[in-house]
Every structure is written in structure tokens, then in C-alpha cells.
């Protein structure tokens, strides 16, 4: 009788262990699925948030550009500019060498990261005529100081260092870097404000303004 009783107990223990094992495996099976599902949902939300943020950046850039382009489109730049060294410079002669220039204007006291980003964008242009682009730097004490500042970027394009009062743009008092086209009449067009958070838009602008025109 004792032997039968012991066998029954052993069978029950084995059965309980078997059930516990099955239940444990099932439990473990479902945990990763739920965790993976949660991580996946979180990933989707992160992507949606990132897209929403990127969209807001693009919209903000377009809105600012639209307003500032309206304000500064067609502004006439005077022929004689005063340089940082106190000399007179005829910008009309520079433009006449090419007929039309893409100008990047920035102030020394503007956002450093913004300036560095645009220098990188200009360097990435590749095979562009060095005379097709002019860099205008303002608020430097003299031409040498401006040259030392720009030399570290190894920019292949010409530059001039002038007083910011030479440019009647609404962006100048706010130290906002900008691009614009300048023709032989020294009239501006295609005024554009770059945004370091939206490089794709800037690259499209640079491609549009530096590509040879089809006659």
C-alpha cells in the first residue's frame, strides 16, 4: 500500500511539474511578443513625431522665406561699398565680370553653427565657377581679420568684408545670414534665408542658383 501511495504522489508531482513547465513556456513565449509589440508601437510613434517635427521645420522655413523674400526682393545695392578697412569698393565691377552673382551674406556675430553649416554647403557644391559666387562678410574689424576667419573653411570663392550698413535688408539688424542673386544693375533677386535644420531646402536652392541656364 505504501508503495502505491508513493507512486501516486510521484505521479502527481511529475504532473504538476509538467504543467508548470508548460505554463512557464507559454508565459515566456508571450512576454517577448508583448514587449516587442510595445517597442514597435513606440518606434512608430517616434517616427511620427520626427516626421511631424521635420514638417514643422519645413513649414517654418518656407513661411520665413516667403515673408523676407517679399520684403527684400528687388532691393538695389549701391555701387560703392565701404569695406571693413575703411576703403571704397565698387561691387559693380565684381558683378560685371560674371554678369550675375550668387551672394552669401553673413555677419560675424551671427549664429556660428549657422555660418559653419553654410560654409560646408558651399564647399559641397563641387565644380562651380569660383567667380559665380561672392561671400560678403560684415562686422569684421578689417579685411585681414575676415580673411583669417574664412581661410579655415577653405572656401574657393571670392569674399569681401564690408560694413553691414551697405545692405538695406530687413534681415541685417537681426544678424540673419542670407543668399541672394545680384545682377549687373545691382538689383537683388531670389532672396533666401538658409536654415541649418533644413539642409535639403538649402541644397535645392544652391543647385537652382548655380546650375548653368539653358539658353
Tell me the domain boundaries of the chain: 1-72, 76-210
Mean pLDDT confidence for 88-114: 91
From CA 133, how far away is CA 181, in angstroms rounded? Answer: 9
Does residue 109 have a pLDDT over 80?
Answer: yes
The answer to whether 162 touches 136, Cβ cutoff 8 Å, is: yes
Q: What is the mean pLDDT of residues 83-87?
A: 88
Ramachandran assignment for 187, one of left (phi > 0), alpha (psi -120 to 50 degrees), beta (any other): beta
> What pLDDT, in 10s, does the model give residues 10-37?
455 545 444 444 444 444 344 444 545 5
CATH (residue range 76-210): 3.40.30.10
More confident residue, 93 or 215: 93
**Bridge partners, residue 27, by sequence:** none
- pLDDT for position 190: 92
Burial of 194 (0-12, 13-18, 19+ CB in 10 A): buried
The residue among 138 and 96 whose pLDDT is bigger is: 138
Share of the chain above pLDDT 90, in %: 40
Instruction: Please count the helices (runs of H) and the strands (runs of E) in the chain.
Output: 5, 7
In this model, does residue 65 exceed pLDDT 70?
A: no
Quick one: average pLDDT of 137-148? Answer: 92
Dist CA 126 CA 65 (whole Å): 26
| pTM strictly above 0.75 | no
Rounded-to-integer distance, Cα 182 and Cα 61, Å: 22
Helix 112-123 with 199-210: angle, nearest 10 deg: 40
Amino acid at each position: 500500500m505504501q508503495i502505491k501511495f508513493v507512486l501516486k504522489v510521484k505521479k502527481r508531482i511529475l504532473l504538476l511539474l509538467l504543467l508548470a513547465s508548460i505554463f512557464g513556456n507559454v508565459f515566456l513565449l508571450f512576454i517577448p511578443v508583448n514587449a516587442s509589440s510595445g517597442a514597435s508601437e513606440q518606434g512608430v510613434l517616434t517616427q511620427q513625431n520626427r516626421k511631424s517635427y521635420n514638417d514643422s521645420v519645413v513649414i517654418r522655413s518656407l513661411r520665413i522665406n516667403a515673408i523676407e523674400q517679399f520684403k527684400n526682393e528687388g532691393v538695389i545695392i549701391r555701387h560703392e561699398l565701404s569695406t571693413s578697412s575703411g576703403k571704397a569698393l565698387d561691387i559693380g565691377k565684381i558683378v560685371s565680370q560674371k554678369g550675375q552673382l550668387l551672394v552669401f551674406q553673413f555677419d560675424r556675430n551671427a549664429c556660428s553653427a549657422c555660418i559653419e553649416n553654410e560654409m560646408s554647403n558651399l564647399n559641397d557644391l563641387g565644380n562651380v565657377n569660383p567667380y559665380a559666387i561672392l561671400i560678403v562678410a560684415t562686422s569684421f574689424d578689417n579685411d585681414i581679420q575676415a580673411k583669417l576667419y574664412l581661410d579655415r573653411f577653405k572656401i574657393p570663392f571670392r569674399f569681401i568684408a564690408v560694413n553691414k550698413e551697405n545692405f538695406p535688408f530687413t534681415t541685417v539688424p537681426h544678424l540673419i545670414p542670407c543668399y541672394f542673386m545680384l545682377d549687373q544693375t545691382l538689383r537683388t533677386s531670389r532672396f533666401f534665408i538658409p536654415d541649418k535644420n533644413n539642409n535639403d531646402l538649402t541644397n535645392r536652392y544652391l543647385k537652382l542658383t548655380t546650375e548653368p541656364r539653358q539658353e
